């Protein structure tokens, strides 16, 4: 479940994540796929339209998580200060996806939930 990090954790991990390039954007999206348990990740880049599409077979997320994804300091990977010492994932701050969303003119996210599809469009 994606939830907001407590303020004490936000202060300790604040990093001002910046996404300075298309390469960094793609890297962050791939790492997010890996954190979701993906064993297959596909990336499509349209250089003329400056669009990035990442498709993976990761675990997906719930409808509730779709409402929070891309919101700064919201993460499913860390919920208390002790979690910072035992992290086994690439992302945990809730900043990379938020930075990508803030740069995007439009984000379209489709998540497969067992047999149901869930979509979110962020303008």
Copy the structure tokens of residue 21: 């390039």
Nearest partner of 100 among 34, 35, 53, judged by Cα: 53
Band of residue 40 on the pLDDT scale cut at 50, 70, 90: very high
pTM: 0.72
Between helices 22-35 and 96-103, what is the axis angle to 10°?
A: 140
Report d(CA 111, CA 98) in Å as an integer.
18
Whether the per-residue pLDDT at 14 is higher than 60: the answer is no
| Average pLDDT value over all residues in the chain | 77
More confident residue, 19 or 112: 19
For the chain, helix (H) and strand (E) counts, in that order, are 4, 6
Domain at 3-122, CATH class: alpha beta
């Amino acid at each position: 479940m994606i939830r907001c990090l407590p303020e004490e954790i936000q202060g300790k991990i604040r990093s001002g994540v910046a996404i300075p390039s298309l390469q960094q954007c793609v890297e962050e999206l791939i790492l997010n796929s890996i954190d979701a348990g993906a064993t297959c990740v596909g990336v499509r880049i349209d250089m003329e339209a400056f669009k990035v599409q990442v498709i993976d077979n990761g675990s997906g997320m719930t409808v509730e998580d779709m409402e929070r994804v891309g919101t700064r300091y919201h993460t499913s990977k860390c919920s208390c200060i002790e979690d910072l010492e035992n992290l086994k994932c690439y992302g945990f701050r809730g900043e990379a996806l938020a930075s990508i969303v803030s740069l995007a003119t439009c984000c379209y996210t489709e998540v497969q939930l067992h047999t149901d599809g869930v979509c979110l469009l962020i303008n």
